[in-house]
Chain A
Amino acid sequence: MAGIRGYWILAAAAIAFRFLLFVCFPKDLHLGSRPEVATPLTSLRRLAEGYWLKQASMSPYSGSMYHGSPLLLSLLGPLTKRVEGRPPHFYCSLVFVIVDFVAAILIRATGKKLMFSRYKSLQVLDLLKPVDASGVVDSGDFASLVYLWNPLSIVTCMGSSTSPIDNLVVIMAIYGACSRISSLAAFGWVFATHLSLYPAILIVPIILLLGYGLDAPPSKLFLLKNSSAVSFGASSENKVKSGASRPTGNSIQNFSWTRVLHFMLWSFVWMCYVLFLCSISLKELGGLSEMFKKTYGFILTVEDLSPNIGVLWYFFAEVFVFFRNFFLIVFHVNILFMILPLAIRLKHRPCFLAFVYIAISSMLKSYPSVGDSALYLGLLALFSNELADMQFSFFLFCGYIGVSLLSPVMHNLWIWRGTGNANFYFATGLAYACLQSVLVVESVSSMLKHDRTLTKMVEA
């Protein structure tokens, strides 16, 4: 249970490394215009254009440039102004470093809570010794360090894109749900949905988290354990004692509706708040209907066909116009389609469910970027103990490295040198989508396997 030694040193080093990159390469990196880092939704350059348009008393959405939230515009817009003697977007980058740090801290806190609940439930099941025989990692510290030191998140932080903020609110929602603070969970969920729409599906794991509590082995196991305890003829005194002391006993039975209702209420409040703020900032500049059309509409109809690490841009650049709507529906339904089966199968592990949802949506979303991958890879590390015997992990590791090296090369060949062809770059996108799907499938299957082994251990 002891944390990773020197966690704070490593975390501080990660932050210092980011600052070092700022100082050493103030202009040369050009990460802000990389398609892997900045999508039309998260590009800070586009945000600056939107801010400029707003300053010129035009709607920030006129001109198909900016597609983000009007709130970000008010928050980050003033920071995008050029300052003499400073690299462009200097202050924004500072903000993103801080945001990254806060996100890492929240991941760590979430991990601590998960560790605690895991410890508790294993203790109840008397499986602590056999399961943790091979040693246990402090997943909170580990995930937080993975998030901080992940090259993808460093690149996202350095390249001016707003996805660190999107990631932060998603993590905030998960943290809020894990620590059962309805208001924080509602805040994170509403803002994440407002910023990038896809986190809307996180409502299922958040409700499960608030209702049932943190990840635990399937409830069947506890019943099995209890019944076996009864059959073995334990003393009634002991049984009563254990029933009172075990928190898991409660979590099996009651789904705490009050927390969920609080969450609903708070989300309603926050939603009204967000809409109110948006309508204030867009007053006389287009209004809310234009905002929805230019943000959610833009996400759902995949209007921008500029290349990114996904596959949808090329698909919709090539597909016949009369099939376009059909495939738009197919791709988006694909995200929604898996919600229910996953929720049924993983309802006892809502936090893991949230991770799977995030991974799926970042694979199938219309404008994916490496920032999304940084988020789900960080969350993946939260389950490092459960997923210890995951298959293909070395293959996945190599695949991620290979794709992240090849993708810029292919992009350079196609766009800058003109010697390559769009298909080469698209191929890396396909490979990346394959890798992500293998990651999702393998993590889900190994989590289920983990539960099965626990069942076997209890039964034995």
Chain B
Amino acid sequence: MAALFRRSTVLPFLLLLPLLLFSVSPLACGKLINDGGEGGEEGEQFAEELLLKPLPDRKVLAHFHFESTTPPSADNGRHHHLFPKAIAQLVRKFQIKELELSFTQGRWNYESWGGSDSLSSTNAKPPGVELWALFNLPVKEIDATWKNVTHALSGLFCASVNFLESSTSYSAPGFAFRSNVSNIRYGALPREAVCTENLTPWLKILPCRDKAGLASLMDRPSIYKGYYHSQRLRLTSSELYGIILEQTLTVVLQPNSKRNAAHSSLDVSIQPSWSISSMFNKKVAGSCVLAKASRILIELEKDIISKLEKMGHGDSWSNSVFDLFPSPVRVIKDFNSLPGESNSILYEYVNHNEYEALDVGIKWKIPFVWSSPHAPFHVSRFLMGSGNERGSIAISLQSTKLDEELVHKSQGCTMQVVIFQVVPWYVKVYYHTLQIFVDGRLQNSSDMIEKMQVTPSEDKMLPGTLELMLKYPCSVQSVILTLDFDKGFLHIDEYPPDANQGFDIPSALVTFPNFHSSRKYVKDEFSTDSPLLRKFQEKNVVLSYTEVLLVPLTTPDFSMPYNVITFTCTVLALYFGSLLNVLRRRVGEEERLLKSKDAAKRGLIPLLFSKLSSKIKGQNPESSNSSSLLGSKFLIIIVVLLAFLWHYFLN
């Protein structure tokens, strides 16, 4: 009875339950939708952008920029919608404040591709792998954490970043690399080969991978065919903004000029016309649906614009010099320059249409020559001397003469240059030999050096670090620094398999703290919306990396360790044996012995026999003999005992 009663009370409730659920679900769904839509402002975001830029030497720069952000971790725990979980875990586990990892192949050509705009000062990287990280940890924990980070990154990107674990390959820069903080570590692997196996895991971090959106343009053969290829990952984490992950891929490609060979055959100097499809063999097939923004921008440098203005074309995208196709949605102008000067212009295309493929391109009509903005000094580094014993490193700064007007304007101006150079320990630099030549004349180095910090290298422990701040008048045309070094000799196991190729000295970093690259755009929603434009508006110090140096080191003969060991030991034994023999010898006694032997004249076999028999009997035929026998027995016993003890203690 009771059970029945109970059932009757439960039943209406059960009937009501679906109703209840239905009434709640619209609310829940609404909330979910809100999370997806409005959460765009608050929650995790992803944006993709592609910047294309014609370069003066008939090449094209393509700069892919992807940015994922996640709000501070306390808000949404461990779950991520867009943001890659692996990266978030990395940041949280190792307390990373900032981290930058770049894989580069090829060398950025500062002379023709520009050295002072924000694109080159943030995206031009030294060949190989470069990694630096800023930790939010006490100083003594940093080295251990750095090692863990290198291993994590090496697993994440299929690269030998873990070679940066050894203390000989990374350094703790002082003032010359970024600000003067103690919790930063910097390491570079100039020899690292960069290829698709590094790109694939890098793409895996993107929400759409390379299946949709701009990343789908990354056709491997066309990307790796280029002159310069640099994939970069930059992490910034803060309490306020959460984690910002910025992934960029910068490639410099040679557009395929065969297509327009027909009508440009008359003039070879005409720039090659190109489009996305001609460069990447693909068209943009719509945006990544998870991306908040997906844009393609074409940038024309300020030299082009000023020349166009002189020709009376202004900022039109279709003129007698070139045609941009299709027509851009918007023209964005830079406002950050002196009056009377032209600025670079960005033409924006929005990539939202999924059905109509976007194929942005430029068609040049007449020959047109321009130049890129240079850094104030062109930096290069080279080796001097011959032979495998010693040499010198020279860093030369040559004025690019672009700032002549600047020099004229301020006659008393001074130029500041900061040089940051890491040298592996087997290149033993004599820092007291630092010489500075200004315009070819030897200068007293204390007049030029404003600040200097040296961490000398320790054999097999630490690389040497040189941080130098130079100050000299702007009118100086060339500055050359030289440092002598001795080449080290390594143990046979420390040479890499291709020892005769030589060893690489990582690029030196030269920064010009007085010069900044930044642009100003009109503050509207679009310019603040775009992460790439936001990046361009940041104030960056102009910097350039020097070449990687290849130092050939002398090699020992790898094939004959046994010969060396046996020869040396033979010589030693020869010395030891003969000296001991000389000391032990008593010529007088020997002569006496010889006489007595002559007297006895016993054969060898009977002598042995008698000795043996006496041994068996336990009798001693001669007293002197017995003592020596006893002594030798005693010695043998001692040796056996020692060996036994040794064995016992070892186990």
Contact = CB atoms under 8 A, between A and B. Distances in A.
B282 interface: no
Nearest to A459: B588
A443 to B, nearest CB: 10
Contact of B554 (A56, A414, A423): A414
B389 A415 contact: yes
Contact of B583 (A65, A311, A345): A345
B163 to A, nearest CB: 19
Contacts of A292: none
Contacts of B386: 416
B571 to A, nearest CB: 5
B489 A426 contact: no
Contacts of B461: 64
Contacts of B454: 53, 56, 58
A383 B476 CA distance: 67
Interface in A53-112: 53, 56, 58, 62-65
A320 interface: yes
**Contact-residue bracket for chain B:** 35 or more
Contact of B431 (A53, A306, A423): A53
Interface stretch (A10-18, A122-130, A429-437): A429-437
A423 B560 contact: yes
A415 B565 contact: no
Contacts of A48: 430, 432
Contacts of B458: 62-64
Contacts of A250: none
A437 B577 CA distance: 10
B556 A314 contact: yes
Max chain A CB contacts within 10 Å: which of B386, B389, B580, B584? B389
A418 B500 CA distance: 11
B390 interface: yes
Contact of B556 (A52, A62, A318, A448): A318
Interface string A178-195: 000000000000000000
Contacts of B565: 315, 318-319
Max chain B CB contacts within 10 Å: which of A313, A364, A422, A452? A422
A341 B390 contact: no
Contacts of A62: 456, 458
Nearest to B571: A433
B495 to A, nearest CB: 10
B449 to A, nearest CB: 11
A347 B106 CA distance: 72
Interface string A302-323: 0111110001111111111100
B432 A444 contact: no
Nearest to B457: A63
Contact of B579 (A53, A315, A415, A444): A444
B443 interface: no
Nearest to A440: B579
Interface in A312-356: 312-321, 331, 334, 337-338, 341-342, 345
Given A56-B454, A318-B561, A444-B583, A437 B578 contact: yes
A373 to B, nearest CB: 16
B576 interface: yes
A305 B489 contact: yes
A65 B387 contact: no
Chain B contact residues: over half helix, strand or loop, or mixed? mixed
A64 B578 contact: no
Interface residues of A, number: 57
B204 to A, nearest CB: 39
B555 A422 contact: yes
A190 to B, nearest CB: 28
B600 interface: no
Given A422-B554, A441-B578, A452-B587, A334 B432 contact: no
Contacts of B556: 314, 317-318, 422
B583 A304 contact: no
B557 interface: yes
A426 B564 contact: yes
Nearest to B430: A49
A45 interface: yes
B452 to A, nearest CB: 8
B76 interface: no
Given A319-B561, A363-B575, A423-B557, A430 B491 contact: no
Given A65-B456, A437-B575, A311 B568 contact: yes
Contacts of A45: 430
A445 interface: yes
Given A305-B489, A437-B574, A418 B561 contact: no
Contacts of B390: 33
Nearest to B488: A306
B432 A51 contact: yes
B492 interface: yes
Nearest to A320: B561
A211 B249 CA distance: 82
Interface string A416-460: 101001110010001001100100110011001100100000000
B240 interface: no
A440 B554 contact: no
A65 B492 CA distance: 22
Contacts of B139: none
Contacts of A421: 557
B556 to A, nearest CB: 5
Contacts of B490: 305, 317
Contacts of B428: 64-65
Given A304-B459, A422-B557, A430-B571, A317 B576 contact: no
B622 interface: no
B557 to A, nearest CB: 5
Contact of A311 (B425, B452, B571): B571
A331 B575 CA distance: 12
Interface string B476-495: 00000000001011111100
Given A64-B458, A337-B576, A441-B575, A305 B491 contact: yes
Nearest to B575: A437
A345 B458 CA distance: 45
B491 A52 contact: no
Nearest to B564: A318
Contact of A342 (B431, B567, B578, B583): B583
Contacts of A51: 432
20 contacts: A48-B432, A63-B458, A64-B458, A305-B489, A307-B489, A313-B489, A314-B568, A316-B491, A317-B490, A318-B565, A320-B561, A338-B579, A341-B584, A414-B554, A416-B387, A433-B575, A437-B574, A445-B585, A448-B583, A449-B587
Report the 4 A-B pairs with minimum CB-CB distance, sorted nearest first: A63-B456, A52-B432, A437-B575, A416-B387
Given A45-B430, A337-B576, A448-B585, 6 more contacts: A304-B459, A304-B489, A311-B571, A318-B492, A318-B564, A430-B571
Interface of A: 33, 45, 48-49, 51-53, 56, 58, 62-65, 303-307, 311-321, 331, 334, 337-338, 341-342, 345, 363-364, 414-416, 418, 421-423, 426, 430, 433-434, 437, 440-441, 444-445, 448-449, 452
Interface of B: 386-390, 425, 428, 430-432, 452, 454, 456-461, 464, 486, 488-493, 554-557, 560-561, 564-565, 567-568, 571-572, 574-576, 578-580, 582-585, 587-588
